[in-house]
Chain A
Amino acid sequence: MATLTLDSVSKVYKAARGKPVLAVDAVDMAVADGEIIGLLGSSGCGKTSTLRMIAGFEDVTSGHIEVGGRMIDNLLPAERNIAMAFEGYALYPPLRVRDNIGFALLRDRQPRAEVKRQVEEIAELLEIVPALDRYPPTISAGQQQRTSLARALIRKADVFLLDEPMSQLEPQLRAVLRARIKDWLITRKMTTVFVTHDQTEAIALADRIAVMEEGVLQQFASPDELKERPANLFVASFIGEPPMNLFEARVDRSRSGLGLAVLDAGGRPAFELRFPAEIAGLADGARVHLGMRPHRLRLGDRAGAVQGIVTSHSWLGDQTHVGVEIGGTECIIVAEGEVPARLGAQIAVEVPLRAVHLFDAEDGRALFHGAEAAS
């Protein structure tokens, strides 16, 4: 219901002994009104610290946070008009689930009948109606988590913060609720930041995803953009399931088009790729990281395909993950439908330009995305 701006926000934890820890390093983020943002990253990457600074439980070491153009980093949590669902649920134990959910509304002296109606509406949405008259310690972890989520979502706050909002739910329920929550957030234009380490959840729920690692915001972009144009090697390897195939390679411009000499783990030549398209900016002989999306590789013996041997084969019911050894390197290919490939059999792998991403060998920043050149 308001914009949220992080202006080079940093967080340093001072340790009693030893060096101070830089948990969040100059994060810039501009969230539009009504936008849903996912904070994605591995444990300890600074995503929860960022969330807690927005809520006001942690001081901002440097930088500023604005909500709807209002500077909030010196306000008390109570004055920020922010709602949050906690990873540890943090329900009030002596209150029934019903009163937990309606707590903030009752505090604002809203009419009881109206609060009851709203509580029941959101309880129905999150499927916790049977638990409404019970006490938090007596219900399951999944129900507690949904209660905590309901307590946040029922409020009329400027910004909603959800910390691992669905980690305790079973997969089917999670898929159903994800869609319902997204619908709820969009229809009410609720500006939301949620933390997760589940990229499926981030991709399904978020308009834009902020990928964090070691306190640094690696990339802040739409799910599509993250997949097609990862800003660096970390984002490329982090986003995508199964993960991107990565190789060391050398650029070969001795002939026309783009040639890539792929190296195995020992640095010996493994196989070669050659694309006819003219691509500027890559110097002959430059060392790069080559990334290839498993979903973009194809099995099939057309011109330019490389030969390999099938080393693993798993049929997942709708697609097949095929592991192929090509000249001493391992590579995963995702094929639609069932693939009749025997272990040890010869197989040809087509590498379209769209599958290719190149990253700097030194600092890992993206040099080239095949999708840009191919379109």
Chain B
Amino acid sequence: MERQTTTGRVVRVMLLTLVGLFFLFPIFWVLLMSFQTNQDILRIPPSIFFEPTLGNYKALISGRLESTAGVLEIRFMNNLMNSVILAVSSVALSLLLGIPAAYAFARFKFRLGEDIAFTLLSFRFAPPLLVLLPLAIYFQQMGLIDTYIGLIWVYQLITLPLILWIVRGYFEDISEDIEHAYRLDGNGWFKTFLHIAIPLAKPGIAAATLLSFIFAWNNFVFALILASADKQPVTVGALAFVTASGIQYGQIAASIVLSVTPTLLLALYAQRYLVEGLSLGAVKG
């Protein structure tokens, strides 16, 4: 261990606190806002002392937004459900397709292999807005517009390349001889893939899953154009809080808290595997 002077330690703690405050303050402030009425939020100067209210959450969950202009129907819970369905199924489909593909790209040399891998990555180069209009027209003709299947399909543009390229790198880092040893012990290649390659690449798969889930969850523009109200995720649904009688900051804050929660829980859960990945780095002798 390196020995530290007292001043060094104090400076360290101060700097860490500063960085922590800088990153965590917005989240903390949003959390406070979600328990405030619009009047409290808009008061000048702002104060962290207020009478907490659950009104924002109640409005979101009941779907009835009461404002000065009257009662407004919102479908926030429905949007949240859509987000979960879209993000979970897109990531699941991408894992199903992407992990075997990543393994193939990492292990086997085949004609046009590199080109195919690069093409898949290039899906992320083009701005989504560029492909959106033709896509909307095709989807209209194919009857895929405003369907979960259509959206999940389009979401593959976001999630599949990410999973493919991250997991491929992890597969390439696994010594091929571990798989060879397992095969000599009397196992076929599919069992080797299942019992050796996937468990050893688990940290990479966890990282890729988390990242692609976040990207899918946060997607806005695909869902805005290709889905109507009853299929839209929270990102698009939040537009409803910009009402004729003003912007409902309290409800927006509450909806942010609710919509960040699943991603946060997933990140906390996946962290275990991410750390495990660091310790498994010592496989090579």
Residues of A within 8 A of B (CB): 16, 55-57, 76-78, 80, 82-84, 86-94, 103-104, 107-108, 136-137, 141, 144-145, 151, 168
Contacts and interface: CB of A to CB of B under 8 A. Distances in A.
A104 B186 contact: yes
Contacts of A107: 185-187
B105 to A, nearest CB: 15
Ranked nearest first, the 4 interchain pairs of A and B with the lowest CB-CB distance are A90-B177, A137-B282, A77-B183, A86-B177
A57 B183 CA distance: 9
A150 to B, nearest CB: 13
B199 to A, nearest CB: 7
Contacts of A137: 279-280, 282-283
B181 interface: yes
A90 B181 contact: yes
Given A76-B189, A78-B186, A93-B280, 15 more contacts: A55-B180, A55-B184, A56-B184, A77-B180, A77-B184, A86-B177, A89-B285, A90-B175, A92-B181, A93-B178, A94-B199, A108-B186, A137-B282, A144-B285, A151-B181
B240 interface: no
B177 A88 contact: yes
B163 interface: no
Interface in B11-41: none
B196 A92 contact: yes
Contacts of A86: 177, 180-181
A355 B234 CA distance: 90
B177 A78 contact: no
Contacts of A94: 199
Given A88-B285, A93-B200, A137-B283, A78 B183 contact: yes
Contact of A83 (B184, B196, B282): B184
Contact-residue size bin, chain B (C-beta under 8 Å from the other chain): 20 to 34
Contacts of A93: 178, 200, 280, 283
Nearest to A78: B186
Contact of A82 (B175, B184, B280, B284): B184
Contacts of A55: 180, 184
A168 B284 CA distance: 14
Contacts of A16: 109
A13 B185 CA distance: 26
B8 interface: no
A84 B279 CA distance: 27
A145 B178 CA distance: 13
B188 A84 contact: no
Contact of B182 (A88, A92, A108, A141): A92
A103 B200 CA distance: 17
Given A92-B196, A93-B280, A93-B283, A84 B181 contact: yes
A88 B181 CA distance: 11
16 contacts: A56-B184, A77-B180, A77-B184, A82-B184, A86-B180, A88-B284, A94-B199, A103-B185, A104-B185, A107-B187, A137-B282, A137-B283, A141-B285, A145-B285, A151-B181, A168-B285
A57 B283 contact: no
* Residue of A77, A107, A136, A168 with highest tally of chain B CB at under 10 A: A77
A57 B285 contact: no
A80 B183 CA distance: 10
B135 to A, nearest CB: 36
B180 A57 contact: yes
A84 B183 CA distance: 11
A93 B181 CA distance: 12
B283 A84 contact: no
A319 to B, nearest CB: 36
Contacts of B285: 88-89, 136, 141, 144-145, 168
Contacts of B178: 90-93
Interface string B204-245: 000000000000000000000000000000000000000000
A150 B185 CA distance: 13
A89 B196 CA distance: 15
B159 to A, nearest CB: 28
Interface string B258-285: 0000000000000000000001101111
A31 B187 CA distance: 27
Nearest to A93: B283
Contacts of A77: 180, 183-184
A354 B178 CA distance: 49
Nearest to A82: B184
A56 B181 CA distance: 11
B109 to A, nearest CB: 8
Nearest to A84: B184
